[in-house]
Amino acid sequence: MLSSNILLSLVSLVATTTSAGKVFTGAAYTVNTLAVGNSAEGKFTLSFLVKDPEPLAPTTATCGTTWTGPAFPTQWIPCETNSVDFKLNSFKDIEDFEIQVKHSYRDPSVGKPPQDKVTTFAQAAFSAPENLTCSDSSCTLTVKGSALLPVWAAVA
């Protein structure tokens, strides 16, 4: 566990700087719709629409998953758009969870193919009543209508 935390810290530190020493300043992703629910049988569902405004590859993707029981999926899950994946960093219940999203695209300024691939990572916490409105068994985004997922790393 310690070595993976050190590796993640190192990747984050290295990934947020370019060879010229500039700090990466990617625009936040936006989640425009989100729904999470729990059935009486203990089946959870999560679906959301995420947008990355990256000028080289602006993308909107529909993402979602289902699982049964308290053990939520922790692996990367592909969204309907092949270049976008997501995972749950944490899931206490439908009123308290964190999503991480990654978007991969080509940027000719970082190298020639196949070294021109860039992946940005963004994440945000969702909780009621901060950005979720909930009933007994489901939650959606609040009236504000969207949530920002700040980009925290980029890897080329």
Q: What is the pLDDT of residues 81-131, one digit of tens each?
A: 889 999 999 999 999 999 999 999 999 999 998 899 999 999 999 999 999
Q: What is the pLDDT of residue 11?
A: 39
**With contact defined as beta carbons under 8 Å apart, do 21 and 45 qualify?**
no
Q: 25-155: which CATH topology?
A: AOC barrel-like (2.40.350)
pLDDT value at 13 more than 90:
no
Q: What is the pLDDT of residues 40-76, one digit of tens each?
A: 899 999 999 999 999 999 999 999 999 999 899 999 9
Q: What is the pLDDT of residue 25?
A: 63
d(CA 76, CA 36): 18
Q: What is the pLDDT of residue 97?
A: 97
> Regarding predicted confidence, which is higher, 112 or 20?
112
Q: What is the pTM of this model?
A: 0.81
What is the CB-side half-sphere exposure of residue 53 using CA atoms within 13 A?
Answer: 12
The domain locations on the chain are 25-155
List all residues 6 or more positions away from 52 whose beta carbon is below 8 Å from its beta carbon: 27, 29, 58, 59, 60, 84, 101, 103, 120, 122
Q: Which residue has the tokens 């080329």?
A: 156
d(CA 86, CA 65): 10
Q: What is the pLDDT of residue 156?
A: 87
Q: Quick one: pLDDT band at residue 4, thresholds 50, 70, 90?
A: very low
